[in-house]
Chains A and B, each alone.
Chain A
Amino acid sequence: MESLKPRPTDVMVKCLAELIRDGEVVYHGLTSQIPVLAMAYAWRRLGRRFTWLSVSESNMPVVERVRVEPSSGGPGTEPLSVGVVTTMDVFDLAARGRVDVMFFGAAQIDAWGNTNLTVIGSYEKPKVKLPGGAATAFLFPLVKRILIWARHDRRTLVERVDFVTGQGRWRVERGLETLLCTNKALIEFTREGPVLRALHPGVSVEEAQAESGFKLLVPEEPRVIEPPDELGMRIIWEHDPEGLRYLQKYG
């Protein structure tokens, strides 16, 4: 067994897991090793019971058998699925308002929760051609709660995104829950602005603010996200024995 000492990545896993509620319909997409671990953590450590769906088109997999791989869209991650539920099917459910939770990454995110996964620089002359938003633009207006994970620094949390892939403002103006788990904090996007809800252990409000390119609101003392305990860490390692979750370099 590798070190059971939780790292910021593991705290992100738990932060996301705590935002999944009983009875919900939860779907994850590609490059979603951290969300997969959050789903497993919610199921096994927090005892949450929800409908597990995925871009790998699995349905209600045997959670104990879930193992993250370099791809979260292939048949290897979630074995023993109950039949096949296509992404098309899930997206039709989303269009009818029946998907509760979806996870998205962001290369840039602004104070409204607008995300950019398209391009750094201009679309016509990109400095960096990013992978693209996948279902971001389609699902942002449709899913009840969007959970975003990203690195907490001023290159990612920006005043202005170079391209609005995910229409966070559209959501926030309509009161749809939009939350961001970083490797330092939990931020909720609201009509009033981005609210600092919680901090990783050892991170101060000042540090979270200094690493953000927009002003964080702190209406009350943020709580501390307790890191995963030993049992929680054992569960995370069981689902990710190679430590692939650390490859995204969130610490």
Chain B
Amino acid sequence: MPSSKLASLGEAVELVEDGASITISGITFSRNPMAFIAALVKAGRRDLYFIDREPGLGLDVLAAAGALRGVRAAMATFELYGLMPTLRRLVEEGRVEFLEDTCGAVIAGLRAAAYGLGFMPVRGVLGSQLVELHERAGTWRVIRDPFTGEEVVAVKAIEPDVAVVHAHYCDEYGNCVIEGPRYEDELKIRAARRVIITAEQIVESDALRRLPHTLSSTSVHVDAVVHAPGGAWPTAMYGLYPADYDAIREYRDYAREGRAREWIEGRLLSRWGW
């Protein structure tokens, strides 16, 4: 029998050390684990290395809180709301290092870690200048397929220290279900060293007995389970609530004026009793 992993936000945040590499669930303005991000800001985490395919709001909030030393992402965007208001400036000022990746290669790197391998080859990519960046960083290498001789890019395993995933429901052991778009969250859960699930709802394990689908995470993957209803706000939660675009635009306007911190404290941290 697995043990109960139920924890408060404050307890779970202790699993993330200063300097850790971290990946989060969702995409730009959907299913970001904003409650946990609030906890990271409250705890004053520093020097985190952020890894994701196509992050948005959660990433910029961490950047604005001064929590980041580096970012590796295929695209970091506020979509129609423009460039990342804070991260963009920090990268331009050389205060946060940015390693641009590409979607298929991020997936390949996470797959390598999840499959227990040191690297994963990926098609495409060759011919882009991204190859030079990653060969220099030691994250990719151009190799030959040992069977066909074809040139392919080998992506070194991406094994984040921590994955934080906001899910629809979860039992106390970490058996969780994400509904709607998964993005790479189920892969991140399998690739990371530690996994924190924040969930809209905590359910009895018995409620999952007749679940006809695969679990997004199992108790074996998960280190902490946090009950965080509304925990993706202001990003969207499939089937439960849409993105709060007014709040996101408000954040952007604050951040562009260099006042992101005010918004984070007044609007996000306050929501979680801080």
Contacts and interface: CB of A to CB of B under 8 A. Distances in A.
A211 B39 CA distance: 50
A88 B107 contact: yes
Contacts of B29: 70-71, 73-74
B206 interface: no
Interface string A110-122: 0000000110000
Given A71-B30, A129-B98, A138 B105 contact: yes
B253 interface: no
Interface residues of B, number: 55
B189 to A, nearest CB: 13
Interface in B119-138: 122-130, 133
Q: For this complex, into which size category does the number of interface residues on chain A fall?
A: 35 or more
A97 to B, nearest CB: 9
A170 B123 contact: no
Contacts of A131: 75-77, 83-84
Interface in A213-251: 244, 247-248
A82 interface: no
B107 A57 contact: no
A193 B236 CA distance: 44
A91 interface: yes
B28 A71 contact: yes
B92 A165 contact: no
Contact of A71 (B79, B107, B182): B79
A70 B236 contact: no
Contact of B126 (A30, A87, A141): A141
A4 interface: no
Contacts of A140: 124, 127-128
Contacts of B77: 30-31, 131-132
A244 B123 CA distance: 35
11 contacts: A30-B27, A69-B243, A69-B245, A70-B80, A71-B29, A71-B80, A95-B122, A95-B123, A129-B98, A134-B75, A135-B74
Interface of B: 27-30, 53-54, 56, 73-77, 79-81, 83-84, 87-88, 91-92, 94, 98, 100-105, 107, 122-130, 133, 180-184, 187, 235-236, 238-239, 242-243, 245, 248-249
